[in-house]
Structure 1
Amino acid sequence: MMDLTVTRRYDAPPARVWAALTEPDLVRRWWGPDGFTAPVARMDVRPGGVSLVAMRSPGGVELYTTWTYGVVERPHRLEYVLRFSDASGRPVPPSSLGLPDGIPEAGVPHELTLETSDGGTELTVTERGYADAGVVAGSRLGLEQTLAKLAAVL
């Protein structure tokens, strides 16, 4: 299994970055890679809570995911499992959505840490459990673009 870690520094305090990661109106403004929008962000950020988030491609295809939270330590740490789903939140295999093999059907564990850094925040995102390097490379590209969009919101 392969993991992916991306770190980015923002000129905003941890509380502000946390809000952008957890508040529906803010998540809708940045979630998804370049060209994608986020029409849905129903956030239930608490241990055991499940958020439903969608991103819409430039061609109009919507991909839904659920984020099931294990650890919620405001404003320093979030751990959740991202699973692809239908619009109602029922899990669906990534392959049924035309996504590449190598994405774990049981979901992708995510760990987000926020640390104070030079008056701003250093956000580190780790995704775990990919089966091949091609999927890791694709996820890295999407994550880097998504985190750049987050910077514009902050």
Structure 2
Amino acid sequence: MSNSQPTFDVHATRTFPVSVEAVFAAWTEGDLVKQWWGPLGFTCPMAEMDVRSGGVSVVAMRAPAEFGGAVMYNTWTYTKVDPPNRLEYDMRFSTPEGQPISPASAGIPGGVPDFVPHVVLFDRLDDHRSRVSVTESGYTAHDARAMSLAGLEECLDKLAVLLGTGSTANT
């Protein structure tokens, strides 16, 4: 008999009216990540990117004042980097210096694992359109999965603004 707990994945897909290279750059260049990372109303004061297999990026997200204005840090530890087609990384909550901390100590409700594997696929549709598909794995509660999906959708909304109008949600 297995003691493994069921897990739930998050999936989101968007189409953008720009090249796949432009979408890949938005996920890997700090100045661009800072313009869209975080749900609506949140800002990204820091995105130190080290995008290579084995590299670790440190990305910050500041809550709006009405939510206390706290800054939360994540690391993205890359397990696969295949420009401009694919990124795979494990997201962890961290200190500003990139030291891992538990989700609970970051104020995150239960159901979020200590690290969340991400797979981001970038597909060229034609010369002027591309699609990004994001999968996050390992959530152990439906509420945690729903919270992450809502945040991811809002990040993708902000990415759509950065990359121009005309993106569509395909979740």
Instruction: Report the TM-score range of the alignment, normalised by the length of the smaller protein.
Output: over 0.9
Could you tell me which of 85, 88, 102 is aligned with 2:97?
88
Q: What does residue 25 of structure 1 align with?
A: 31
Alpha-carbon displacement from aligned partner over 1:65-97 (angstroms, at most 9, x marks no partner):
000001100001000000000111111111112
Q: Distance in 2 between matches of 1:84 and 1:27?
A: 17
- State how 1:5-154 maps to structure 2 within 5 Å: 5-59=11-65, 60-105=69-114, 107-118=115-126, 119-154=128-163
Q: Distance in 2 between matches of 1:122 and 1:84?
A: 27
Moved over 6 A (4+): none
Shift of residue 153, structure 1, vs aligned partner: 1.0
Where 1:141 maps in the other structure, the secondary structure is helix
Q: What does residue 3 of structure 2 align with?
A: none
Alpha-carbon displacement from aligned partner over 1:50-76 (angstroms, at most 9, x marks no partner):
000000000210000000001100001
> Could you list the runs of 5+ residues in structure 2 that have no partner in the other structure?
1-6, 164-171
Alpha-carbon displacement from aligned partner over 1:4-60 (angstroms, at most 9, x marks no partner):
110010011100001110001000011000000000000000000000000000021
Where 1:75 maps in the other structure, the secondary structure is coil
Sequence identity percentage: 49
**Which is strand-richer, 1 or 2?**
1
User: What is the one-letter code of the residue matched to 1:5?
Assistant: H
Where 1:116 maps in the other structure, the secondary structure is strand
What is the aligned-residue RMSD (CA, Å)?
0.7
Q: Distance in 1 between matches of 2:24 and 2:73?
A: 22
